[in-house]
Amino acid sequence: MRTAWVFPGQGSQFTGMGKDLWESDARARQMFARADAVLGFNLSEVMFYGSDADLKATRVTQPAVFLHSVVAACCSNLPSPAMVAGHSLGEFSALVCSGVLEFEDALRLVSIRAEAMQQSCDMVPSSMAAVIGLDDAIVEAVCARMDGVVVPANYNCPSQVVISGEKDAVERCCQAMKAEGAKRALVLPVGGAFHSPLMASARERLAEGIEKTSFHHPSCPVYQNVTGLPYTDPAIIRENLLSQLTSPVRWTDTVRNMASDGAGEFIEFGPGNVLKNLISRILK
């Protein structure tokens, strides 16, 4: 049985995240201290004691989830995985744990990504919505016929797709999804239209950071969001990581491909168990 390590994205944060690791492991304390130094503010303090509002700020959320995930994996003392993947932001954690990125380099990129995404969100009123109970093809067709920008953003599991785009277009699209028979079409409390064309300016800023960062050959295949396929070429991994900002997260395909390639055990590192629940629905 081959083991896959998976890492969650934004939205799984909670107050107190990582505090148990900090208290129990000297390696964790060192990593938290390094993260605070790289970021220039006390991220660990916000993670341990901050309010929900503090943690929901994108500039905090993304580094916090990344840090929790990487620390948990590094302190697990488990054998190295046969393959790795991360959902959206979680792909950065996967790249650290497979040796593609150094911890500090990845944290800097996550910080750039978070700030750039927040700026993109501030430029245009935008949102995301979860659509439950429709086939992917129907969701795609409804989005395609809408006026304005609205696209599938996260293919999370069968019959669960998150759409993303301009605020009015997303709201109109939700009504159209319900008319098509969706069980639910609910606007999510997020800052903007992640994984949509509205993230183009954030992609430009992230590209500058990625260009200055060294990418190494991974110790195992990395299954990336933009296709759901495994990669080991650093140049391709670099480009896919950048494309992810404006492309949908193909998580259903990712998990199915990992299972087809022999993954019989999935271990989720990070706050919460969002991916565990999605994987159980994808693989039954």
From residue 264, give the alpha-carbon distance in Å to each of 88, 246, 267, 279.
Answer: 22, 31, 10, 12
Could you confirm whether 111 is annotated as catalytic?
no
Both structure tokens of 64: 């916090």
Pairing of strands 160-166, 230-231: unpaired
Backbone angles phi, psi at 213, to 5 degrees: -110, 140
Catalytic-labelled residue, pool 12, 111, 127, 195: 195
Going by C-alpha positions, the residue among 169, 112, 175, 111 that lies closest to residue 144 is 169
Going by C-alpha positions, the residue among 163, 167, 169 that lies closest to residue 140 is 163
From residue 52, give the alpha-carbon distance in Å to each of 12, 17, 102, 129, 208.
Answer: 12, 12, 29, 21, 31
Please list, residue by residue across 257-276, b when 16 or more beta carbons sit within 10 angstroms of its beta carbon and e when fewer do. bbbeeebeebbbbbbbebbe
Q: What DSSP state is assigned to residue 81?
A: P
CA distance 42 to 160: 36
3-state secondary structure of 270: coil
Residue located via tokens 């900002």? 245
Handedness of CA 87, 93, 99, 105 (dihedral sign): positive
Catalytic-labelled residue, pool 12, 44, 88, 247: 88
Could you confirm whether 87 is annotated as catalytic?
no
The DSSP element (H or E) to which 163 belongs, if any, is strand 160-166
CA distance 254 to 224: 7
- Give the residue numbers marked as catalytic: 88, 195
